[in-house]
Amino acid sequence: MKAIVFTKYGTPDVLELREVDKPVPKDDEVLIKVHAVSINDWDWGALQGIPFINRLLFGLLKPKKKILGSDIAGRIEAVGKNVEQFQSGDEVFGDLSGEWGGFAEYVCARENALALKPASMTFDEAAAIPQAAMLAVQGLRDKGQIQPGQKLLINGAGGGVGTFAVQIAKLYGVEVTGVDSSGKLDMLRSMGFDQVIDYTQEDFTKNGQCYDLILDVKTNRSIFDYTRALSPNGSYVTVGGSMARLFQFLFLGPLISLISKKKIRIVALKPNKDLAYLNELFEAGKVKPVIDGPYKLSEVPKAFRHFGEGRHKGKVVITLEQNKRLENVLSLVEI
């Protein structure tokens, strides 16, 4: 099968399209024909081996897992003998982080990493959902305990998490401000953000505004800047960003909660936990993934460059559907 392989850490130039062995499912796994896969910030970090924790997970000097890609959607082609929930032909999607292997024509996965894809959801849409939407739900609802009537600010609003978070937040009847770079502000307005702030022009922690809830995907400021921008009972929730900052938040967050009514929380992703909830929202027309692309499998290095430059809007998706369409055309030609 074809796959995008990396054998050393580096820029997207180290990603190569190669012919590799098709994986074989273990007894508790299914084999999936991948139809779409999306890029996450974690893929980007793993590609470079930065921050260092990625070297601990992937290999100190060179990557042991050679195919990245966690958020996949596809059709089950074979099932291991202990698999109970799925059968061949099922259309599924999920976050395979820990196992990886999504930038390929086939991947194996354990059944607890997968959910059935609704028939009305395309494979591209399904591949955009798992990690970013789970972070948005778990950040707003579980850690942020979002309430109707609140003022919410999303820092890093135009990427994967932010574009899901605004749609989920609007279901609670909150006023949402989005912070991102100038090129993304029109998209944010069109998605329903009530206010937008260009971070290259304005520092939202110094403009005198206060928010009941801040959801942060960048965590690029000091904890004191963020607490200044919180209302007296406000909550700050980070889903990720600078490791040094996150350690600061881990140690100082509880102290701030002790001396004030402000809360500082860090999301530890529970992969796939809320996929059924996202399916419900999607089928009710309440959430729709924002897709940048789709790119072809051979274009994965280009898609990574686009992602790394921060030019993407929503989720960067790679589709393998074109291969299928090409196969169909070729079979018609043979007939």
Q: Smallest gap, in angstroms, from Cβ of residue 319 to ligand NAP? A: 18
Q: Smallest gap, in angstroms, from Cβ of residue 183 to ligand NAP? A: 6
Tokens standing for residue 38: 């999306």
Q: Smallest gap, in angstroms, from Cβ of residue 167 to ligand NAP? A: 13
- CB nearer to ligand NAP: pick between 189 and 261: 189
Residue (of 262, 254, 223, 263) closest to 241 by Cα position: 223
Residue (of 128, 98, 132, 91) closest to 113 by Cα position: 98
Q: What DSSP line would sit under 174-192, residue for residue? A: -EEEEEE-GGGHHHHHHHT
- CB nearer to ligand NAP: pick between 34 and 132: 132
């009530």: which residue's tokens?
194
Which one-letter DSSP state was computed for residue 104? B
Q: Smallest gap, in angstroms, from Cβ of residue 188 to ligand NAP? A: 9
Q: E strand or H helix at 16, and its extent?
A: strand 16-19
Q: Smallest gap, in angstroms, from Cβ of residue 288 to ligand NAP? A: 16
Q: Smallest gap, in angstroms, from Cβ of residue 245 to ligand NAP? A: 11
Contact residues for ligand NAP, defined by CB under 6 A? 40-42, 131-132, 135, 155-156, 158-162, 179-181, 184, 199, 217-218, 220, 239-241, 267-269, 310
- CB nearer to ligand NAP: pick between 79 and 177: 177
Residue (of 123, 120, 46, 61) closest to 92 by Cα position: 123
Exposure string over 28-42, b if 16+ CB within 10 A, otherwise e: bbbbbbbbbbbbbbb
- CB nearer to ligand NAP: pick between 25 and 293: 293
Residue (of 27, 1, 16, 29) closest to 96 by Cα position: 29
CA atoms of 219 and 266, how far apart (whole Å): 10
Nearest residue relative to ligand NAP (C-beta) = 159
Largest CA distance in the chain: 76
Q: Smallest gap, in angstroms, from Cβ of residue 193 to ligand NAP? A: 13
Question: Do the Cβ atoms of 92 and 276 come closer than 8 Å?
Answer: no
